[in-house]
A = this chain, B = another copy of it.
Amino acid sequence: MFKLENFITNFDWENLLIKGGVITLKVIGILFAYWIIRRIGRKILDRTFNNILHRQDITEGRALTLHRLAENIFSYALVFILAATLFSVLGIPVASLIAGAGIVGLAVGFGAQGLVSDVVTGFFLLLEKQIDVNDYVTVGNFDGIVEAVGLRTTQIRGFDGTLHFIPNREITSLSNHSRGNMRALVDIGISYEDDIDHAIDVMQQACERVAKQTSTILEGPNVLGVQAFGTSEVVIRVIAKTVNGEQWAIERQLRKAIKEAFDAHGIEIPLPHQVLIQKQSESQQKSLS
């Protein structure tokens, strides 16, 4: 606060108007330069990544990740250089203000700590290849497709179209759903009166028909057996291993195929059942007797 006081008293108030014009011109020049450098820099980045990366043995996701990151670093660097230049032109000694051990320095230090934490976490995210652009990930309460891994924030596009901005330091534990084959799992209930062995046979045949029709199933769907006793049904579980990203489609196909096979063999997926025991209210019993 007293820095402000000093600043106000030391500031050259007299030449303010005369200097004003000069400074304004400088600022405009700087902004123009910023504008041009930004345009050129982006073009160079785009070309470099388009040319070099496609002919090398880097996956497409990795290439995109690095491209976005490079753009992000470039624009941050530019903005900070712009700000530093402008403060310098305006004669505000930002650096010494921050370096001072006063309240401002302390406060900025804590701010910087958060920033460093973001950058460090982001660095390890990339170094350990935990995350790439176009991966389907779950971070905390957010899940979706990674759009960009930046210096400070990661952008995740939710399946409903929402764009989530998550500071890197908030990404501690991470679930990546785009690394390796996935499991398709279908639980289906049959009636307590149906024969379990017969139902399993019918399901297994249906599963094998599906497996023949599609090329995205890697381990043929297997009927595991009686998973649980539900209130009105005996639950039987089927699992399969599929190509990444195809698990939902396979689950939908398996559900349809098993339902149709059950219809053909007269096996019902049971509706909720309830056993009713009739009792007459006392008053009516009296009137009846």
Contact = CB atoms under 8 A, between A and B. Distances in A.
Contact of A277 (B1, B104, B253, B275): B275
A259 B272 contact: no
Interface stretch (A17-25, A41-49, A59-67, A149-157): A149-157
Does more than half of chain A's interface fall in helix, strand or loop, or is it mixed? Answer: mixed
A227 B244 contact: no
Contacts of A252: 224-227
A279 B284 contact: yes
Contact of A273 (B176, B274, B284): B274
Number of copies of this chain that the complex holds: 7
A1 B161 contact: no
Interface string A217-240: 000000011111101101000000
A196 B259 contact: yes
Contacts of A276: 273-279
Contacts of A227: 252
B2 A96 contact: yes
Contact of A128 (B84, B153, B270): B153
B103 A107 contact: no
A36 interface: no
A247 to B, nearest CB: 7
Contact of A150 (B4, B128, B229, B279): B128
A104 to B, nearest CB: 8
B183 A161 contact: yes
Interface of A: 1-2, 4-5, 79, 84, 94-96, 98-99, 102-117, 120, 124, 127-128, 130, 138, 140-142, 150, 152-153, 157-167, 170, 172-177, 179-183, 185, 188-189, 192, 196, 224-229, 231-232, 234, 241, 244, 247, 249, 252-253, 255-256, 259-260, 268-281, 284
Given A2-B99, A196-B260, 6 more contacts: A130-B153, A140-B173, A170-B173, A272-B274, A274-B274, A274-B277
